[in-house]
Amino acid sequence: MYRIWGDQGQAALENASICLLNCGPTGTEALKNLVLGGIGSVTVVDGSKVEASDLGNNYLLDEGCLGQPRAKSICSFLQELNDAVKAKFVEETPSTLIDNNPSFFSQFTVVIATQLPESSLLKLDDICRKADIVLVAARSYGLTGLVRVSVKEHCVIESKPDHFLDDLRLHNPWAELKQFAKSIDINDKDPVVHKHTPYIVILVRLAEKWADAHDGNLPSTRQEKREFKDLIRAHMLNLDEENYKEAVESSYKVSVTPGISNEIREIIDDNSAEVNSSSSDFWILVAALKEFVANEGNGELPLEGTIPDMTSLTEYYVSLQKIYQAKAEADCLAMEHRVKDILKRIGRDPDSISRACIKTFCKNARKLRVCRYRSIEEEFSSPVVSEVQRYFTDEDCSYAMNFYILLRAVDRLAANYNRLPGIFDSEIDEDIPRLKTVAASVLSEMGLSGASLSEDLITEMCRFGGAEIHPVAAFIGGVASQEVIKLVTKQFVPLKGTFIFNGIDLKSQVLEL
């Protein structure tokens, strides 16, 4: 795990303080993962005593815990998993704490709210937003469940996408790279040299040759790209030259659109990039980035400075590495000067943002992400009707949307009858039409008047009886803990909407509502 989020991520985890509301199987599974990951401290809030039913779905409890405070028993077992974690418990019902002591939550980095009814969740979300505390809501309910992140703004430097184009600047090589490429004769007939010329050099030289013959333009149309590949192949001496095959496969990198992506453009043009003394380090770095792009960068972001493996003579490859690293270092230095100037202008210590932080920012400048979440209150009271209708009518999303509405409906029904539907077998037949009626009102509020839910799903929700089935709870708890790690380490991109798990079909969907 350490290799995934590195020393900075691990330090963030060790400094984090997590509050868990309700330590049923869903909450326990989430906290177990975080404790094993090395989270700094946890506080468990639960007012229940351990009952026989808990032993069937919570593997951290045994018969010796019966009658004991559930929060105390869970804390004891969690510390056995990692005694370096500080674990505390509060024996109180979460809803009571939310109503009577809202300031309690301001001490935490993240609050994980599990199995909270809608009314309590809305209050908690408002409390957390006012205190700038991250809220992660998680719920398992029979064969379904959800996870929802709520925070005003979450900025990510190390988003670590699975696939991303290497930053080689073949479409816009700088002077030192051009000079190095020109120092190598790609027409050299020596077979060893020819078949070990790095594809970066081949592409820089041939792209220049192409541009000279096409009024300074690089290949852009499909036909031109095909002809450019033919130009590369024409320089091969033998069919087994791997470096030329690599050049053909990477030829599209020459045609990359210059400048910055729309996503990064939106970030640097964001109002938050107009910084002041209260701005976060992230937005100060973005403000410096905006200045860099307009000046030293000539419309480009700082170079990352790494190159992929390729067929090459060792001396050529090492020289290329040094050229890319030197350019990246120069860009980073220019960024550092701009960051210091901005910090001075807004009255902050010019050294308050470390060089290591600036270097990490430069290396990941193409992958920055800013996530902003609507409050849960806004999601419920002001639905984006077009999105709701799209999800409801989309074949891939309709089941997830049905579960989303039914999970809200069971809370409404529980508020009216002081129990979840299906708790008593004898009343399931009566609960089905009740749930259907409440679900219809939720549909109407969401702009889906006249729409109907799956009768089978309504029946299933009643049959679930609000049960936390351990396999589903383990999965939902796992997703919740994964999101907490992303939010605490500020690495990877957290869920942008409500994650819905459909355990009937073993499918999941994220609804951005």
Q: Give yes or no: residues 96 and 129 share one domain.
A: yes
Where residue 8 falls among pLDDT bands split at 50, 70, 90?
Answer: confident
Residue 167 falls within a domain, yes or no? no
Domain hosting residue 244, numbered range = 175-255
Q: What pLDDT was estimated at residue 350? A: 95
Cα-based torsion angle of the residue sequence 500, 502, 508, 509 in order, rounded to the nearest 10 degrees? -50
Q: Give yes or no: residues 473 and 443 share one domain.
A: no
pLDDT in tens, 23-69: 999 999 999 999 999 999 999 999 999 999 889 888 888 888 899 99
Q: What pLDDT was estimated at residue 479? A: 98
pLDDT in tens, 254-300: 998 888 999 999 999 999 999 999 999 999 999 999 999 999 999 99
Question: Six-digit token pair at 245?
Answer: 């095959």
| Residue 361: pLDDT over 70 | yes
Q: Is the pTM of this model over 0.85?
A: yes
Helix (H) or strand (E) holding 152: none
Q: Work out how many domains the chain is built from and give that number.
A: 4
Q: Give yes or no: residues 5 and 124 share one domain.
A: yes
Where residue 401 falls among pLDDT bands split at 50, 70, 90?
Answer: very high
> Alpha helix locations (H) across 346-397?
355-363, 376-381, 385-393
Average pLDDT score over the chain: 94
Q: What pLDDT was estimated at residue 259? A: 85
Q: Give yes or no: residues 359 and 269 share one domain.
A: yes
Could you give the 3-state DSSP secondary structure of residue 513?
Answer: coil
Q: Give yes or no: residues 365 and 475 share one domain.
A: no
Q: Give yes or no: residues 7 and 132 share one domain.
A: yes
What is the average per-residue pLDDT within 156-182? 92
| Residue 2: pLDDT over 60 | no
How far is residue 150 from each of residues 91, 99, 122, 130, 464, measured CA to CA in Å? 25, 19, 11, 12, 27
Q: What pLDDT was estimated at residue 3? A: 67
Q: Which residue has the tokens 């992660």?
A: 136
Q: Give yes or no: residues 6 and 116 share one domain.
A: yes
Domain boundary among 219, 235, 255: 255
Residue 327 falls within a domain, yes or no? no
Residue 170 falls within a domain, yes or no? no
| Residue 468: pLDDT over 90 | yes
Q: Give yes or no: residues 340 and 234 share one domain.
A: no
Question: Six-digit token pair at 325?
Answer: 């690293």
| Residue 231: pLDDT over 70 | yes
| CATH number of the domain within which 51 lies | 3.40.50.720
Q: CA angle, corner 480, sides to 477 and 485, nearest 5? A: 125
Q: What pLDDT was estimated at residue 381? A: 92
Residue 324 falls within a domain, yes or no? no
Cα of first residue to Cα of last residue in the chain, in angstroms, is 32
Burial of 313 (0-12, 13-18, 19+ CB in 10 A): middle
Burial of 14 (0-12, 13-18, 19+ CB in 10 A): middle
Q: Give yes or no: residues 386 and 436 share one domain.
A: yes
Q: What pLDDT was estimated at residue 449? A: 87
Q: Give yes or no: residues 27 and 101 share one domain.
A: yes
Q: Give yes or no: residues 267 and 241 share one domain.
A: no
What is the average per-residue pLDDT within 496-500? 95
Residue 224 falls within a domain, yes or no? yes
Q: Give yes or no: residues 202 and 294 share one domain.
A: no
Residue 350 falls within a domain, yes or no? yes
| Residue 330: pLDDT over 90 | yes
What is the average per-residue pLDDT within 456-464? 94
Residue 317 falls within a domain, yes or no? no
Cβ contact 169:300 at 8 Å: yes
Cβ contact 145:501 at 8 Å: yes
| Residue 1: pLDDT over 60 | no
Cβ contact 481:31 at 8 Å: yes
Residue 487 falls within a domain, yes or no? yes
| Residue 495: pLDDT over 70 | yes
Q: Burial letters for 417-433: b for 16+ Cβ neighbours within 10 Å, e otherwise?
A: eeebbbeeeeeeeebbe
pLDDT in tens, 425-452: 888 999 999 999 999 999 999 999 888 8
